[in-house]
């Protein structure tokens, strides 16, 4: 039998607020005023005969005139000389690299249309994160510069080059510094180009600084191991993970790669073998990682260090001062320490703090647990975060002292993302010549003398080395769109080298990377990457002076202890803010809060009550001398007395879509122990305004029906069927309709709730594949988001008196602090029901069933009665209120000819007034089938991959043919954990879900 645990999407659902109850009754936020027209008054209104005739006459005339337009003449313009590799209508795939991940770029007739993982790569080879899936849109960004700029004026490259070279020579002659400030650069060819500049102008130096810095880890590793690196974490070897405020599945170090590895110990295959890792999370705001944890303890930011000290004490048996006093945390630490020591060699502790001492403490613990080698790899270390806060401080100091002659900014925007932007501006004012390589006139670039716009990675030659020994190429998939030049080429020109960038990259590879591997440049272009590292790293023991470290940790904790504590974090979509102009990412709901198009102050509901703010209220937050007013978000799971605010918002010069979305939170950061830290004490006060966040969490509510099945690992081991609550197990069903036969294929899907982390990359991949429009903040508020696939996030509350089962209990339970919530993520999309309720109500047969088990939607047949949406129990149908792709009211996003080049030519863009929904990527199914027919063979499992499946790093979405008993999906659906959502209404959905299993501590 299913559990009677209460799942809810938002507080308004839990508390059944009047607004929520009213809203949940109707499918659409703004109902058509049918009642008003059909009531007595409406019916008795007289329509004068003349008015009627006038309207009729006008209508007829207008229609006739409109029909008089001549059929437009369509031109068909073939290539003059067709490139050999292009066949119009057939996509080409090119290996490239994005953010260090080897990817495949799909191009059609020479324009990139989507990005997916390179399945043959090592590391992250399955799925992409949301930013990667969305990156293709950035190529078609209207806000990019079309020409180089000098003093704000468009100039040609010749003039710019002359000016820059003159400035460089002047600085070199005067013995002044030439500094290139960049974010982490791990591209061997970029580094080689920088070296060329250095060879020509000996005063050149390169400073790397990241907005979200990992200096703490780097410095800690330098101290304890003599290796100043961020290690690679092999989570598949970890059976127990304790994370102290590290969002390691989301934004921390390499979230998507961690997800892929982490899930290998938790998905249906692992469970089938009776194996599941345990994950314990201590954090203040509810992060995506925290939402997936088996045990999550809410702590204040100031307690992070204390938790680690307690953990260290518990593991080593020492009794260092400064342990945590929080009762809940103490219990959890005791249990966690036992678990960790039992599983030495397969246990890992990570911390998100950028404080050197905290990381030194973590190193000591991990060293004690024997994590170095199998799990923490210091030899094949990560090269994705090399920024040094100290180096940037140094640069600011020397610039302010007038010692810098030329400053260049490469992928770096400190005026926006450095916590003291005035310091940067003041220092830059003292530099003789400043230049940015930014592709747009951003916050920093607009302050500088010159901009040498670089191009998108899809137009460039290049490479990347995200891990020691791992090298991947970047190759262009389209010609240069604007009059831009990639930064490396500019550097070469200025250092007096005329070599083309392609030759330069190729040469660099042949001389430095490929030498001795027996591979040629062409092989690499095809494979996309080369790996020269080892499987795992060597064992290391940390050298840590534990006493001084703990003292420093305690002191740092004290410094941020306050009535209210503020924690800054990176959001899963926006990251550090560099993708702020990507409309797909702006509209991607946050995995936990489900807020789009804004950042906010996340506050525990109880704490909000204390300070007197309610839903849609705003607060003023003050910390480190910076004050900002932000809308409030009631966040269950947030530690009391803490506020979490996402960085990456509040950009002012990024472009149409991203300007002035949210508020900038970087100035809240502080410098401590030489690193930029994101925790501080703060004061918070209610502000008078109201502001409605565009939050999707209560849209498409399932109205309290029992659709989540959850069990514990212990119960699962006893009975794999536990809590699956399959209706068919206990009931006989009767069919009203005939059974649909699927003699050829039967397309089905299995979704593993235990694997889904809620990251949302599937949503973006679906948007890109299916031309799903972005609607904007106002339209989201009206419940009009168009996403075919959504991830429903359900909370359950746990309180001191056991699990809450009845909503009524909540009102009585005054002690309830909303700190202890558990979360289940459930991807929800068209279930392609065999007895689909939507099909029977469509008056024009616009949605009908296919012989392959799909629920087809013929857009050109639909005329928008919306009965289907009204009748869909899963609420997965979306109505086009506007021609979002072509309506000037949504000017910010996608409705210009240039951006529309991102559209997938195999999928129609839907018009206003029609319904749409998940088609199971029917264009991919059809092309997969056609490919098999052309090759005169049967369709194999894996020939057809739907976009969401392809994007999922956790393998939570499995798609395939049920008629093939050997297909992965057939096997998955035979799993004991499988249940069907709302099975009891017998609509016979074709998507099976697998129960959520939580590896909790059994009391």
Partner 1 sequence: MRNISSVLGKLAKVVSVGLMLLFAVTMSHAQDAANGAALFKANACQSCHAVGKELTGPDLAGLAERRDEGWIIKWIHNPQGMVDSGDPIAVELKSKYPTMMAAYANLSDDDIRDIIAYVKAEEVKNAEKQTAAAAGGAEGGGGSSDATTLMILGMVIIAVLAVIIIVVLNRVIKSLEKVMESNRAAIEAAQAKNEEYAENRLAKFAKAFLRNKKLVGFAVLGLVALLAVAGWNQMWNVGVHTGYQPVQPIKFSHQVHAGVNQIECQYCHGGAFKSKNASIPSANVCMNCHNTVTASDHYEGEISPEIAKIYKAVDYNPETKEYGKNTRPIEWVRIHNLPDFAYFNHSQHVTVAGIECQTCHGPIETMEEVYQYSPLTMKWCVDCHRDTEVNADNAYYDQLIEAHEKLKKGEKMTAAMIGGLECGKCHY
Q: Which residues contact partner 1 by CB under 8 A?
A: 71, 73-82, 87-90, 741, 743-745, 846, 848, 850-852, 854, 856-861, 906-908, 919, 922-923, 926, 929-930, 932-934, 936-939, 963-964
CB of 742 to partner 1, least distance (A): 10
CB of 427 to partner 1, least distance (A): 48
Nearer to partner 1, 783 or 929 (CB): 929
267/254 Cα distance (integer angstroms): 20
648/55 Cα distance (integer angstroms): 53
Here the tokens at position 482 are 């604007």
Neighbouring C-alpha atoms within 13 Å toward the C-beta of 110: 9
Which has the closest alpha carbon to 473: 101, 890, 140?
Answer: 101
798/810 Cα distance (integer angstroms): 11
Nearer to partner 1, 75 or 732 (CB): 75
Nearer to partner 1, 29 or 62 (CB): 62
Q: Sign of dihedral through CA atoms 911, 916, 918, 924? A: negative
Nearer to partner 1, 442 or 906 (CB): 906
Nearer to partner 1, 929 or 971 (CB): 929
Nearer to partner 1, 741 or 806 (CB): 741
Q: Is the distance from CB of 678 to CB of 252 less than 8 angstroms?
A: no
Q: Is the distance from CB of 293 to CB of 250 less than 8 angstroms?
A: no
Q: Is the distance from CB of 177 to CB of 168 less than 8 angstroms?
A: no
Nearer to partner 1, 339 or 943 (CB): 943
Nearer to partner 1, 236 or 940 (CB): 940
Nearer to partner 1, 44 or 936 (CB): 936
When computed from its CA atoms, the radius of gyration of the chain, rounded to whole angstroms, is 29
Which has the closest alpha carbon to 940: 966, 916, 921?
Answer: 966
CB of 848 to partner 1, least distance (A): 6
Q: Is the distance from CB of 318 to CB of 343 less than 8 angstroms?
A: no
Which has the closest alpha carbon to 884: 912, 862, 861, 908?
Answer: 912
Here the tokens at position 804 are 């809450």
994/271 Cα distance (integer angstroms): 11
CB of 978 to partner 1, least distance (A): 24
CB of 927 to partner 1, least distance (A): 8
Which has the closest alpha carbon to 793: 750, 755, 756, 830?
Answer: 756
Q: Which residues contact 505 (CB under 8 A, 6 or more apart)?
A: 189, 461, 462, 463, 473, 488
Q: Is the distance from CB of 615 to CB of 683 less than 8 angstroms?
A: no
Q: Is the distance from CB of 706 to CB of 645 less than 8 angstroms?
A: no
CB of 851 to partner 1, least distance (A): 4
Nearer to partner 1, 496 or 744 (CB): 744
CB of 909 to partner 1, least distance (A): 8
Angle subtended by helix axes 487-494 and 188-200, to nearest 10: 20
990/992 Cα distance (integer angstroms): 6
357/559 Cα distance (integer angstroms): 14
CB of 766 to partner 1, least distance (A): 14
Angle subtended by helix axes 356-369 and 546-560, to nearest 10: 130
Which has the closest alpha carbon to 179: 464, 424, 421?
Answer: 424
Find tokens 């009211």 and name the residue: 889
527/508 Cα distance (integer angstroms): 18
Q: Which residues contact 745 (CB under 8 A, 6 or more apart)?
A: 852, 853, 925, 929, 939, 961, 963
CB of 103 to partner 1, least distance (A): 24
Nearer to partner 1, 576 or 852 (CB): 852
Nearer to partner 1, 180 or 962 (CB): 962
How does strand 642-647 pair with strand 710-712? unpaired
CB of 870 to partner 1, least distance (A): 21
CA distances from 644 to 280, 571, 603, 806 (A): 20, 11, 7, 30
CB of 67 to partner 1, least distance (A): 8
Nearer to partner 1, 741 or 897 (CB): 741
Burial of 732 (0-12, 13-18, 19+ CB in 10 A): exposed
Here the tokens at position 631 are 């809308």
- Using alpha carbons only, what angle is made at residue 687 by residues 685 and 688, rounded to the nearest 5 degrees? 150
Nearer to partner 1, 218 or 789 (CB): 789
CB of 80 to partner 1, least distance (A): 4
Q: Is the distance from CB of 262 to CB of 246 less than 8 angstroms?
A: no
CB of 846 to partner 1, least distance (A): 8
CB of 54 to partner 1, least distance (A): 24
Assign residue 399 a region: left if phi > 0, alpha if psi is -120 to 50, beta otherwise? alpha
CB of 986 to partner 1, least distance (A): 23
Nearer to partner 1, 754 or 847 (CB): 847
Which has the closest alpha carbon to 425: 400, 403, 404?
Answer: 400
Find tokens 């607009």 and name the residue: 446
Backbone angles phi, psi at 521, to 5 degrees: -55, -40
CB of 839 to partner 1, least distance (A): 11
Nearer to partner 1, 78 or 518 (CB): 78
CB of 578 to partner 1, least distance (A): 34
Nearer to partner 1, 56 or 90 (CB): 90
Nearer to partner 1, 178 or 842 (CB): 842
CB of 863 to partner 1, least distance (A): 14
Output the DSSP codes for 342-357.
HTTTSEEEEE----HH
Q: How far is CA 162 from the centre of its chain?
A: 42
Here the tokens at position 681 are 């004490």
């Amino acid at each position: 039998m299913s559990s009677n645990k209460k799942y809810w999407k938002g507080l308004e659902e839990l508390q059944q607020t009047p607004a929520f109850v009213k809203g949940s009754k109707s499918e659409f936020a703004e109902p058509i005023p049918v009642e008003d027209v059909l009531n007595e008054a409406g019916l008795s209104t007289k329509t004068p005969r003349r008015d009627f005739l006038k309207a009729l006459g006008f209508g007829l005339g207008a229609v006739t005139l409109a029909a008089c337009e001549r059929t437009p003449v369509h031109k068909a313009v073939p290539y003059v000389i067709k490139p050999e590799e292009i066949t119009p209508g057939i996509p080409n795939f090119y290996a490239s690299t994005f953010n260090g991940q080897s990817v495949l770029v799909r191009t059609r007739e020479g324009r990139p249309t989507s990005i997916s993982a390179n399945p043959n790569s090592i590391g992250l080879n399955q799925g992409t994160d949301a930013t990667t899936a969305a990156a293709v849109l950035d190529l078609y960004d209207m806000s990019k510069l079309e020409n180089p700029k000098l003093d704000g004026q468009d100039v040609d490259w010749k003039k710019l080059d002359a000016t820059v070279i003159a400035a460089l020579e002047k600085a070199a002659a005067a013995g002044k510094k030439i500094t290139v400030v960049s974010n982490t650069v791990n591209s061997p060819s970029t580094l080689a180009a920088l070296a060329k500049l250095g060879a020509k102008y000996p005063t050149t130096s390169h400073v790397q600084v990241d907005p979200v810095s990992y200096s703490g880890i780097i410095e800690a590793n330098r101290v304890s191991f003599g290796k100043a690196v961020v290690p690679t974490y092999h989570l598949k070897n970890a059976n127990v993970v304790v994370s102290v405020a590290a969002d390691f599945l989301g934004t921390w170090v390499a979230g998507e790669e961690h997800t892929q590895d982490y899930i290998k110990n938790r998905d249906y295959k692992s469970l089938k073998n009776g194996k599941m890792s345990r994950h314990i999370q201590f954090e203040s705001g509810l992060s995506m990682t925290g939402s997936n944890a088996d045990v999550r303890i809410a702590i204040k930011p100031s307690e992070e260090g204390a938790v680690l000290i307690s953990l260290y004490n518990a593991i080593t048996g020492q009794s260092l001062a400064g342990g945590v006093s929080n009762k809940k945390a103490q219990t959890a630490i005791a249990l966690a320490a036992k678990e960790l020591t039992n599983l030495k060699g397969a246990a890992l502790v990570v911390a998100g703090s950028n404080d050197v001492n905290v990381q030194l403490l973590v190193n000591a613990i991990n060293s004690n647990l024997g994590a170095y080698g199998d799990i923490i790899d210091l030899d094949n270390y990560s090269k994705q975060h090399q920024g040094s806060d100290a180096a940037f401080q140094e640069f600011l100091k020397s610039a302010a002292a007038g010692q810098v002659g030329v400053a260049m900014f490469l992928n770096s925007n400190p005026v926006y993302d450095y916590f003291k932007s005035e310091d940067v501006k003041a220092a830059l004012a003292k530099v003789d010549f400043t230049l940015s390589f930014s592709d747009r006139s951003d916050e920093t670039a607009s302050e500088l003398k010159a901009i040498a716009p670089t191009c998108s990675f899809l137009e460039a030659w290049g490479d990347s080395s995200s891990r020691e020994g791992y090298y991947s190429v970047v190759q262009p998939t389209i010609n240069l769109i604007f009059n831009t030049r990639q930064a490396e080429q500019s550097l070469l020109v200025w250092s007096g080298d005329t070599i083309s960038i392609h030759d330069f990259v190729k040469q660099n590879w042949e001389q430095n990377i490929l030498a001795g591997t027996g591979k040629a440049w062409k092989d690499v272009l095809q494979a996309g990457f080369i790996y020269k590292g080892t499987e795992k790293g060597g064992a290391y023991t940390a050298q840590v002076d534990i006493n001084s470290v703990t003292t420093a940790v305690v002191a740092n904790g004290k410094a941020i202890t306050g009535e209210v504590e503020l924690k800054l974090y990176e959001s899963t979509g926006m990251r550090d803010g560099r993708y702020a102009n990507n409309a797909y990412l702006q509209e991607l709901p946050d995995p936990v809060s489900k807020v789009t198009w804004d950042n906010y102050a996340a506050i525990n509901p109880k704490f909000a009550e204390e300070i007197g703010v309610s839903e849609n209220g705003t607060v003023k937050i003050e910390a480190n001398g910076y004050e900002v007013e932000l809308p409030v978000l009631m966040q269950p799971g947030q530690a009391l007395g803490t506020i979490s605010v996402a960085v990456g918002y509040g950009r002012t010069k990024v472009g149409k879509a991203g300007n002035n979305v949210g508020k900038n939170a970087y100035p809240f950061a502080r410098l401590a122990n030489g690193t930029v830290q994101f925790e501080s004490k703060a004061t918070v006060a209610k502000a008078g305004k109201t502001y409605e966040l565009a939050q999707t969490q209560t849209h498409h509510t399932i109205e309290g029906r029992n659709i989540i099945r959850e069990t514990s690992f212990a119960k699962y081991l006893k009975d794999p069927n536990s809590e699956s609550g399959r209706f068919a197990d206990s009931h006989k069903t009767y069919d009203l309709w005939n059974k649909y036969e699927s003699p050829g294929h039967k397309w089905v899907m299995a979704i593993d709730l235990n694997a889904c982390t809620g990251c949302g990359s599937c949503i973006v991949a679906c948007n890109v594949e299916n031309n799903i429009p972005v609607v904007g903040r106002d339209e989201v508020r009206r419940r009009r988001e168009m996403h075919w696939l959504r991830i429903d996030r359900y909370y359950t509350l746990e309180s001191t008196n056991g699990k809450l089962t009845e909503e009524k209990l909540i009102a009585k339970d005054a002690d309830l602090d909303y700190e202890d919530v558990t979360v289940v993520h459930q991807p929800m999309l068209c279930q392609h029901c065999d007895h689909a309720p939507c099909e029977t109500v469509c008056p024009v047969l616009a949605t009908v069933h296919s012989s392959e088990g799909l629920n087809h939607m013929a857009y050109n047949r639909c005329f928008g009665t919306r009965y289907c949406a009204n009748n869909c129990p899963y609420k997965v149908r979306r109505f086009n209120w506007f021609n979002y792709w072509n309506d000037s009211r949504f000017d910010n996003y996608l409705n210009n000819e240039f951006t529309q080049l991102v559209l997938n030519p195999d999928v129609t863009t839907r018009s206003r007034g029609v319904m749409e929904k998940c088609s199971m990527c029917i264009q991919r199914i059809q092309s997969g089938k056609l490919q098999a027919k052309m090759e005169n063979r049967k369709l194999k499992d894996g020939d057809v991959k739907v976009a969401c499946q392809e994007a999922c790093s956790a393998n939570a979405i499995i798609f395939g043919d049920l008629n093939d008993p050997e297909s992965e999906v057939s096997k998955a659906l035979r799993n004991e954990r499988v249940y069907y959502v709302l099975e009891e209404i017998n609509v016979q959905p074709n998507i099976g879900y697998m129960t959520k299993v939580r590896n909790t501590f059994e009391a």
